[in-house]
Amino acid sequence: MDLRRLSTTIAVMASISITGLARAQAPDLEALRRARGDEPDVRVEHEETTTLAADGKPPLKSEAWTFRTGLLSPMVRYSRYLNRPSDFAGSYPSLPNSDTGLGFDGYAWGNWYRGNAIRVLVNGRDVLAAQPATAVEWREGESGFLRLVWEFGEGTSLSLSVLVRPDGDGIYLRAELSPPGVPVDALQVQLTGYPGGYGPAYGLPSHRFVVTAQQEGDVPADYTGKAFPKLPFTAGESWAYYADRLADTGSLGLVVLPAEKPSGEVRLSSYGIQTVLCYPPGTRDVHLGLHAYTIVNSSARQLFSEAVPADLEALRTLSFWPER
């Protein structure tokens, strides 16, 4: 059976009410599957909804993939207008507002923003905003895999791959441009996060702060500056840690490969924080590691520090799409 159909079938079956006898037998069945090697380490459950075209707007399609890893189950969401024929004949942006796009969910993962956590700009073109993905596929197994492809220009495509390992502790991303010879004058990745959560939207005070290997900046609750600070992210750095001192939980972590030499800035505020990474001309392949924590900041920062070396090795060596 196709793995995507299997994962969808599992999701449907999970929503069906079963008898007490079936519940009692289920753990034995799962143990048997694991013993036979039938049960993947990471299961992928897929949900999809489509709102039909109306009032001059194209169909709106939303998908979510939940990576079942045990205690932690990160989720990836992708919402967009289907602004291409034959779905829609008119001209319309694929991401009409900040609530649409590619984002993350599930416990603290939602602090990376459910709707619009990552954007990729190629030669100044915001690929995700301009058009919907032309291909989406996923697999489950020793890790969970998701791959989205945007085709644009003359035979040029952007592939964004997501990998979730069995412990569910981190999400690894790879953005790749093809074909290899396509000219790239500028490649930029933008990440949006809300460390500490969304309390400020409901009137709660915040004290956002960011730490990198070389810099540190914050926005206290009594901040009175005319403009929020920007923290440089210099080429050769490998990580950034984002948190809120008042919330003391819900912190975030970012890992990049120093060899890829991204540079840019972290734009702080009392609410959302945007990280802009600009890669050297000619870059066609970039790797990122993301973390999200529900525990207190002191413990989270320690765990993140311990995770960085393993992440750097994983980003260099992992295959982001399994061979059949």
pLDDT digits (tens, 9 = 90+) for 58-103: 999 999 999 998 778 999 999 999 998 888 888 888 998 888 999 9
Distance of CA 128 to the CA centre of its chain: 13
Tell me the pLDDT band of 286, cut-offs 50, 70 and 90: very high
pLDDT digits (tens, 9 = 90+) for 115-152: 899 999 999 999 999 999 999 999 999 999 999 999 98
- CA pseudo-torsion sign 37, 42, 45, 46: negative
Q: What confidence score (pLDDT) does residue 19 get?
A: 30
Q: What confidence score (pLDDT) does residue 82 get?
A: 94
The average confidence (pLDDT) of the chain is: 87
**Domain-located, residue 19:** no
CA 171, 172, 177: angle at the middle one, nearest 5? Answer: 140
Higher pLDDT, 317 or 322: 317
Percent of the chain scoring above 90 in pLDDT: 72
Tell me the pLDDT band of 38, cut-offs 50, 70 and 90: low
Tell me the pLDDT band of 159, cut-offs 50, 70 and 90: very high
**Domain-located, residue 232:** no
Distance CA(242)–CA(195), nearest Å, equals 6
Domain that holds residue 52: 40-200+271-288+307-317
pTM of the model: 0.86
Lowest average pLDDT, out of 36-45, 69-78, 92-101, 243-252, goes to 36-45
> With contact defined as beta carbons under 8 Å apart, do 207 and 145 qualify?
no
**Domain-located, residue 6:** no
Q: What confidence score (pLDDT) does residue 310 get?
A: 95
Q: What confidence score (pLDDT) does residue 280 get?
A: 96
**Count of structural domains within the chain:** 1
pLDDT digits (tens, 9 = 90+) for 48-65: 999 999 999 999 999 999
Q: What confidence score (pLDDT) does residue 32 get?
A: 41
> With contact defined as beta carbons under 8 Å apart, do 28 and 7 qualify?
no
- Is a pLDDT exceeding 90 seen at residue 202? yes
Closest CA to 96 of 76, 114, 112, 115: 115
> With contact defined as beta carbons under 8 Å apart, do 274 and 264 qualify?
no
Tell me the pLDDT band of 153, cut-offs 50, 70 and 90: confident
- Is a pLDDT exceeding 50 seen at residue 2? no
Half-sphere CA count of 173, side-chain side, radius 13 A: 24
Tell me the mean pLDDT in the region 14-34.
Answer: 36
**Domain-located, residue 196:** yes
**Domain-located, residue 205:** no
**Domain-located, residue 35:** no
- Is a pLDDT exceeding 80 seen at residue 14? no
Count the neighbouring beta carbons within 10 Å of the beta carbon of residue 104.
23
Q: What confidence score (pLDDT) does residue 115 get?
A: 87
**Domain-located, residue 75:** yes
Percent of the chain scoring above 70 in pLDDT: 88
**Domain-located, residue 101:** yes
What is the three-class DSSP state of 81?
Answer: strand
Count the neighbouring beta carbons within 10 Å of the beta carbon of residue 91.
7
